[in-house]
A and B are shown apart, each in its own frame.
Chain A
Amino acid sequence: MPLTRRRLLASSAGLLAAGVLTRWLPGGAVNAAAPQAQAFLLPDNFLLLSRQLTGTTSPDPLLAQRLHRWLHATVEDLDYNVDRLTALLAQENGQTLPASLPPDLQALAHMIISGWYLGVVGSEHPRCIGFENIVSYQLVRDTLLPPSYAPGAPNFWTQPPAEGSQVGGLPLAANANTPAQAIVADKGYPAARQHMTKESLHG
């Protein structure tokens, strides 16, 4: 199999996306972009296919890395199948995945689309790899924030979204939500207490 060229996903566009997101959302979830922009080495063909499937030129670098890592661990001959899927889609140029796609490539396309748009991968045991940075929320961010986030000012919703601005035309307050300690996916929550104390309830 030919070696695929790997590219630093830290082009100006990529960095910009991470930077914008970081300013835009206070931290909290493990999937939000880290405060400092990071660069990831990702294969060219994966990035090219991601751009094709998402219709976006600057996919979120952190989500790209998480999605590629999961695909790499899950899909056999990933590089080869990414090239196959890219070639077949290039012939179609359609709006929907062609019915003629072989089942394995249909599945791969769905994995990639679901990862980018929903932040969820895996059908048997689904995993969340992104939330704030998924494509669907990025697409509507001039009108809606991801649920559990808010611009920080009550009653903004009484007005229609301002043209060409973020939700309600308001900057996101830095303290709109208190950053909370991230919890890993295995849900290792603290052991329950038998008798609660005031401190525990106020924790």
Chain B
Amino acid sequence: MAESLSADVVVIGAGIAGSLAALKMVKAGASVLMLESGPEIKRDQAVEYFRNSPFKGDFTEPYPPEPWAPQPKFIPVDNEYLIQKGPDPYRAQYLRGIGGTTWHWAGQAFRLLPNDMRLHSLYGVGRDWPISYQQLEPWYCEAEYQMGVSGDADLSSPRSRPYPLPGIPLPYGFERLKQRLAPLGYEVGIGPQARNSQPYDGRPACCGNNNCMPICPIDAQYHGGISARKALDAGVRVVANAVVYRIESDPQGRIQAVHYLDRNRESHRVTGRCFVLTANGLESPKILLLSTSSHHPQGIANRSGMVGRNLMDHPGSSVEFYADEPVWFGRGPMRPGSINNLREGAFRRTRSAVRIDFANTSPVRYLTERLVRQGFYGKALNEKLRWQAERFVLLKSLLEMLPEPDNRVTLSQTKKDAWGIPKLEVYYRFPQYVHRGYDQAAADFKRIVAQMGGRDAAFSPRGVYDNNQHITGTMIMGNDPENSVVNAECRAHDHPNLFIAGTGIMPSCATVNSTLTGTALALMMADNVLKTLRGAG
């Protein structure tokens, strides 16, 4: 007979958002049970998987999935866990396991700009948030102090508290670009990073292993595995390998239970007072869409029909070139700095804003692969590799998608995973708004290349964009129950005891990495859950 489980709060998804929310709630005295579809992930194993993998550029390699918790994988070929149905690809890489996708992030912990949350009021595009930057700000601080964010300037996001850690100094090559680009008006600055600039919270300072993605070998970079371990230590009960496939509601909309399949395909029913969904921006809407019943024919939290819609991310373009002086990219953390003064302006009425990242990833493997493909060998290959590795520069733009209902995920009617759960189909289309942002980024790239005496510049083509795994919008937050999924408290409009957080509820994605905002929302949500448990919410 299946075991019966129950808690004050049942959390679905043990990533950074769910784990930190669970930690906060258990510390406040609630009993918390956290369900995670994937396995436990161990850092030392992940490091070994990385070092022994033939696909060093595939960030999922250190995290082999279990059969019951498959993940999208695109190298060497698309495993079609995420089925592409649209004109443009949406290739999101995410992990299913204790700690979630921040195991292989770059630690970039930006706040939104206040105006990022008022796009519609200011510029007539996208949506406004139902909360202001000022309202969210205290939870930004809380998230930063949990994660150990290092930074210096506020980058136009006002702060009530200083960064918990001083900024990580820029690598030599970044400083050279900073000096040489300043006359053109480009401000190269230290990026806020969930990466220790000095020992913090029992973890060491970054010493430049240059492997933030896919695995920091020393935990100088924060990740959801650390959050989950803290939650466990504080008394949260964590069940790994528990694949939630249904949320059960009574006719009035009160959530009664969730159901999960274990690794033996046995079903379990978990009851609670409040339920929290933090399973990421694709897996969370999947669970909601799966949970149909006679009372909720479109699934849970989906009276508006918005679950799975408004999918956003950061399409990215790039340029690479060889600078006219050695810059030695690849020394230090992978994403230590960027250009942040292109993110806001009246141009947002007609085109995407732009953020330009400097990719401090060691270029050696990439350059070697290309030279080998070109047929070089021996001394010629060695000389070229050494010269190129000293001067290689890679710039990446992050562009802003807007919430459009047609960009969406739906359940496949024909394809299921090994545990019998329907796979997701994704429809995605890049709008002109993004293409015009590409044009601006390309113009900026050209000026930067010229200023750096760049040789052999190669620009990524218009319309072909990287994805950045910043999954936003699929359970969009808003005041109107007719066109949004959760309200300003992160509470589902249709269900008084169901809360959703993480990046999937964000009504705008702006041009910055979404993790810090998703985590701040989760901590804000945790306070609202606690109020509800106390009868005040």
Which A residues are closer than 8 A to B by beta carbons? 28-31, 52-56, 94-97, 109-110, 113-114, 117-118, 120, 122, 126-128, 131-132, 135-137, 139-140, 143-161, 167-168, 176-178, 180-183, 185, 187, 189, 192-196, 198, 200-203
Residues of B within 8 A of A95 (CB): 376-381
A113 contacts B372, CB within 8 Å?
yes
Question: B residues 37-61 with Cβ under 8 Å of A?
Answer: 39-40, 42, 44-45, 47-56
B484 within 8 A of A: no
Task: Assess the A180–B331 pair: CB atoms within 8 A.
Answer: no
Query: Mask for B321-339, Cβ within 8 A of A = 1, else 0?
Result: 0000010101110000000
Q: How far is it, in angstroms, between the C-alpha of A168 and the C-alpha of B328 when the chains are bound? A: 11
Please list 6 pairs of residues, one from A and one from B, whose beta carbons are closer than 8 Å in the complex, sorted by A's number: A54-B378, A110-B372, A145-B210, A156-B208, A193-B240, A193-B241
Which 8 residue pairs are nearest across A and B when measured between Cβ atoms?
A157-B332, A95-B380, A126-B54, A180-B44, A96-B375, A55-B379, A55-B378, A157-B331
Residues A160 and B326 in contact, CB atoms below 8 Å apart: yes
A189: which B residues are within 8 A, CB to CB?
A: 45, 64
**Complex contact A161–B47 (CB within 8 A):** no
> Is B488's beta carbon under 8 Å from chain A?
no
The reply to whether A148 and B45 contact each other, CB–CB distance below 8 Å, is no
Give complex CA distance A192, B97 in Å: 10
A109 CA / B42 CA spacing, docked (Å): 38
- Say yes or no: B205 contacts A154, CB within 8 Å: yes
Question: Is the CB–CB distance between B55 and A126 below 8 Å?
Answer: yes
Hey, which bits of chain B sit against chain A, CB under 8 A?
39-40, 42, 44-45, 47-56, 64, 66, 76, 98, 168-172, 175, 197-198, 205-211, 215, 217-218, 228-229, 232-233, 237-242, 262-263, 326, 328, 330-332, 361-362, 364-365, 368-369, 372, 374-382, 385-386, 389-390
Nearest chain-A residue to B220 (Cβ)? Answer: A154
Contact B229 A28 (CB under 8 A): no
Contacts of B232 in A (CB 8 A): 196, 198, 201
Closest beta carbon of chain B to A107's beta carbon, Å: 12
In whole angstroms, how far apart are the Cα atoms of A127 and B55 in the complex?
Answer: 9
Nearest CB of B to A196, in Å: 5
Residue of A nearest to B176 (CB): A160
Inter-chain contacts of B229 with A (CB < 8 A): 201-202
Contacts of A147 in B (CB 8 A): 56, 209-211, 361-362, 365
Query: 5 more A-B contacts (CB under 8 A) besides A148-B209, A151-B208, A196-B40?
Result: A30-B52, A96-B377, A97-B375, A139-B382, A201-B228
Overall SS of chain A's interface? loop
Taking CB atoms, residues of chain B closer than 8 Å to A177 are 47, 209, 217-218
B389 partner residues in chain A, CB cutoff 8 A: 140, 143-144
Please give the distance in Å from A148's CB to the nearest CB on chain B: 4
Chain A residues with Cβ below 8 Å from B237 are: 195
State whether A192 and B52 are in contact (beta carbons under 8 Å apart), knowing that A148-B211, A158-B175 are contacts in the complex.
Answer: no
Tell me the minimal C-beta distance from A11 to chain B in angstroms: 20
- Neighbouring B residues of A167 by C-beta, 8 Å: 331
List the A side residues contacting B52 at CB < 8 Å: 29-31, 128, 131, 182-183, 185
Q: Which residues of A contact B208 (CB under 8 A)?
A: 150-151, 154-157
In the bound complex, CA of A94 to CA of B172 (Å): 36
Nearest CB in chain B: distance from A45 CB, A:
16
CB pair A143–B331 under 8 Å, yes or no, is yes
User: In the assembly, what is the distance between CA of A53 and CA of B84, in Å?
Assistant: 42
Are A154 and B377 within 8 A (Cβ)? no
A152 with B207, Cβ < 8 A, contacts A126-B54, A196-B98 known: yes
Q: Do A196 and B378 have beta carbons less than 8 Å apart?
A: no
- Bound together, the chains give a CA A49 to CA B7 distance in angstroms of 67
A198-B378 in contact given A140-B364, A153-B207, A192-B39 (Cβ < 8 Å) = no
User: Is B239 touching A195 in the complex (CB atoms < 8 A)?
Assistant: yes
Query: Closest A-chain residue to B98, C-beta based?
Result: A196
A29 CA / B50 CA spacing, docked (Å): 9
Are B239 and A194 neighbours in the complex by a CB distance under 8 Å? Answer: yes
Contacts of A202 in B (CB 8 A): 229
Q: Would you call B332 and A28 a contact (CB within 8 A)?
A: no
In the complex, A153 Cα to B242 Cα: how many Å? 41
CB distance from B270 to the nearest CB of A (A): 13
Nearest chain-B residue to A97 (Cβ)? B375
Q: For residue A28, which residues in chain B have a CB less than 8 angstroms away from its CB?
A: 47-48, 51
**Which residues on the A side are within 8 Å of B215 (C-beta)?**
148
Q: A122, A144, A149: which has the most chain B beta carbons within 10 Å?
A: A144
Chain B residue at minimum C-beta to C-beta distance from A30: B52
B54 touches A157 (CB 8 A): no
Chain A's nearest CB lies how many Å from the CB of B330? 5
B386 and A139 contact, CB distance less than 8 A: yes
Query: In the complex, which of the residues A52, A137, A148, A168 contacts B364, with contact meaning CB atoms closer than 8 Å?
Result: A137
A161 to B172, CA, bound (A): 9
The docked-state distance in angstroms from the alpha carbon of A198 to that of B40 is 12
Interchain CB contact under 8 A, A140 and B48: no
How distant is A160 from chain B, measured CB to nearest CB, in Å?
5
CB-CB under 8 A for A118 and B377, given A154-B207, A156-B331 = no
| Nearest residue, chain A, Cβ from B204 | A154
**Quick one: closest B residue to A176, CB to CB?**
B207
Given A153-B207, A155-B169, CB of A53 within 8 Å of CB of B240: no
A178–B44 Cα distance when bound, in Å, is 8
A203 to B44, CA, bound (A): 9
* Given A150-B210, A196-B98, CB of A180 within 8 Å of CB of B47: yes
Q: Which B residues are in CB contact (< 8 Å) with A145?
A: 210
Q: Give the residue among A53, A96, A132 with the most B Cβ atoms within 10 A.
A: A96
